[in-house]
Structure 1
Amino acid sequence: MIDLVERTRSTLLNDLRPIFADVSEWDLADFPHHFNCGDHAIWLGCLKVAEAFDIAVRSTTSSSTYRRDKLNAAGPIVINGGGNFGGLYPHHDELRIQILNDFPNRPIVQMPQSLELANSGIVERLKRAIGNHPDFTLLVRDHRSLAVAQSEFDCRIELVPDAAFALGRLERGAPSEDVVLQARQDDEAAAERESERPTVDWNTTTVFSRRNLMRSAVSVADKLPARTLGPTMANRFAQQNLEWAIQMLSRGRILVTDRLHGHVIATLCGIEHIVVNDRYGKVRALWEAWTHDSPTATFVPSWRDAEAALADLTSRRLAT
């Protein structure tokens, strides 16, 4: 029997195959120039998709280093996926709009997104840019986003799994604690968490950490004329962040997380975990679409429910 990870990876590649039929190269845009390890997992998943289809990645760019002249592959422009479509994080939408306007004669593929239409001004500009483009494909990763996209945008729209599933099965690290809690500290965090347990997250680092130094190296390399140095440094930074995430999430024999990619990476690693819904419901939406039958995950709607689920899971582990 094919397990959930391999099944979902196969679904992703089978769904993407007709979209990238006869494509030999692409430009990959919206590199995550930050410390959100989930976006780096998505980026690396996009590279795995390219590898699976024997597609060469000719250039990479981020919202802060975008230059029109760097995107010159013979194939489509592919934009990294995530949960940043619709105004929650405007600089990502600004890059999308810029690319759509700058390249009216090239196919553009938006890799799987969760849609949250949080800024009406940006949404209207997205509608115009998408409506004016003759060959834009919007991929979404849950049924709620599919309904929103079909209602609001005039383009090709497809439902596919999150791109990080292209990574396939990952190896977890050895646990050193009974429980690790990963809790968001940003606007997407569920509001009612009251636990006194210490928490971790992956969005911050110290000034002289390896992660921060690597991010600085990516910034420098991306501004140099050499076409290969920037992507090489960017991909190393992404891999470093994925490894950091795996190390963090693996520390606990049981993980509790309210991050969508805390859940996805834990699933890929086979880490037993409880996944808590976020403020906007994108965790629940992905769970219902792809991972609801995961043998290693338990979904709960709130942090209040997480404590009870954790107690139940702990007692069941002790009984076996």
Structure 2
Amino acid sequence: MAFFDYPFHLNPGDAAIAAGELAWLARNASRVVCMTRRETVESGYWPDLREGVTLLFHGGGNIGDLYPEHRVLLERMLLRYPDHDAVMLPQSMNFRDPAKAAALEAAVGGHRGRVTMMWRDTRSLGTASRLVPGARHLLSPDAAAGFTGWQRLSGPVTAVTHLLRHDEESSSLPPGDIESGDWPYSATDKLAWQAMRWRHRLLDVTPARTDGQRRDLYLCLSAMSLRNALGLLSAAEVVVTDRLHGHILSTLMGIPNVVLADSYGKLRDYYETWSRDLPFTAFASSRDAVPGLVKEVQGKV
């Protein structure tokens, strides 16, 4: 397999997805012949792939208008390698512009190899089946579930932790006077991240010869991101979050959690598809409902 769009940025959610993807590949004894981030391809690197190598695309929430560069990469790779089978790992879909959905359908429809697209909620599955009929569509949990070793790093020391976004996906339910924060990064982490970025730029000068060194950087950044995220979640008795992987990681670690809506519905879609029957997680449709739901899920694990 050739693994494209590997995450190389400070986001524990993508790091958790990648951990699950790599664990799944290892369990299935799948050989990855190259692994690269989006920017390396955009700089002009097109790997020389032998016949029969499957294109594998990192999962996440990137099929739609919000982060178009990831969808565009998928389209470009399908056009560049028209005879290779392709697998897109679990995503959410959200299109506002029909023309962009049509561009994806055209790229898939013009691909001679088989295209399999995996979706992590039933709404995305239904939408994709209608908009992109040329692919095979499957329902699957988020790829973070592919790693089976998620566990608390410590016992809880905080009653409630509010993990809330501060970007375009942020919750429509403001925290008011509640103390909240996003994923934590120290000054040392940020300096390490800048050093990794510069190192990667040097490796991109000769990308065909530096695949192994790039993989080491990817794994190092993922480990740093996850260490901070798992530490934050582990310290909480209950997590209140509008981050999808705040919910997913808390759930996989057995930490009670209350989910808030994000800006375009992917949290509610995921919760309704996979989590609604779990006794230790709940969805808050209003800010006023949060305190009662926190009490409801406490101690349910």
Q: TM above 0.5, one fold?
A: yes
Residue equivalent to 2:47: 70
Residue equivalent to 2:173: 192
Q: CA deviation at 1:210?
A: 3.1
Q: CA deviation at 1:119?
A: 3.3
1:158 and 2:142 correspond: no
Q: Is the CA contact 1:192–1:304 (under 8 Å) kept in the aligned structure 2? A: no
Q: Could you tell me which runs of 5 or more consecutive residues in structure 1 were left unpaired when the two chains were aligned.
A: 1-25
Q: What TM-score comes out, normalization by structure 1 length?
A: 0.83
1:217 to 190, 199, 207: 199
The aligned amino acid for 2:83 is N
Equivalent residue of 2:217, what SS? helix
Q: Distance in 1 between matches of 2:129 and 2:198?
A: 39
Q: CA RMSD in A?
A: 2.2
Residue equivalent to 2:99: 121
1:291 and 2:271 correspond: no
Equivalent residue of 1:106, what SS? coil
Residue equivalent to 1:136: 115
Residue equivalent to 2:164: 183
The aligned amino acid for 2:148 is G
Q: Percent identity?
A: 29
Q: Distance in 2 between matches of 1:299 and 1:151?
A: 28
Q: CA deviation at 1:265?
A: 0.8
Q: Residues 179 and 216 (structure 1 numbering): CA distance in 2 closer, same or farther, change over 3 Å?
A: farther
Q: Pairwise mapping of residues 1-320 of structure 1 onto structure 2 (< 5 A)? A: 26-66=1-41, 67-70=44-47, 72=49, 74-134=52-112, 135-153=114-132, 154-174=134-154, 175-202=156-183, 206=187, 208-224=190-206, 225-313=209-297
Q: Distance in 2 between matches of 1:255 and 1:289?
A: 20
Q: Could you tell me which runs of 5 or more consecutive residues in structure 2 were left unpaired when the two chains were aligned.
A: none
* 1:2-50 Cα shifts (integer Å, max 9, x gaps): xxxxxxxxxxxxxxxxxxxxxxxx1111122221211111112111111
Task: Pick which of 152-161 and 225-234 moved more.
Answer: 225-234
Q: Distance in 1 between matches of 2:282 and 2:225?
A: 25
Paired residue total: 291
Q: CA deviation at 1:143?
A: 0.6
Equivalent residue of 1:56, what SS? coil
* 1:255-285 Cα shifts (integer Å, max 9, x gaps): 1111111111111211122122222121121
Q: Residues 84 and 248 (structure 1 numbering): CA distance in 2 closer, same or farther, change over 3 Å?
A: same
The aligned amino acid for 1:217 is R
The aligned amino acid for 1:213 is A
Q: Distance in 1 between matches of 2:194 and 2:74?
A: 26
Q: What TM-score comes out, normalization by structure 2 length?
A: 0.88
Q: Residues 178 and 308 (structure 1 numbering): CA distance in 2 closer, same or farther, change over 3 Å?
A: same
The aligned amino acid for 1:172 is R
Task: Pick which of 62-71 and 150-159 moved more.
Answer: 62-71
Q: Is the CA contact 2:102–2:131 (under 8 Å) kept in the aligned structure 1? A: no
Residue equivalent to 1:3: none
Q: Residues 312 and 162 (structure 1 numbering): CA distance in 2 closer, same or farther, change over 3 Å?
A: closer
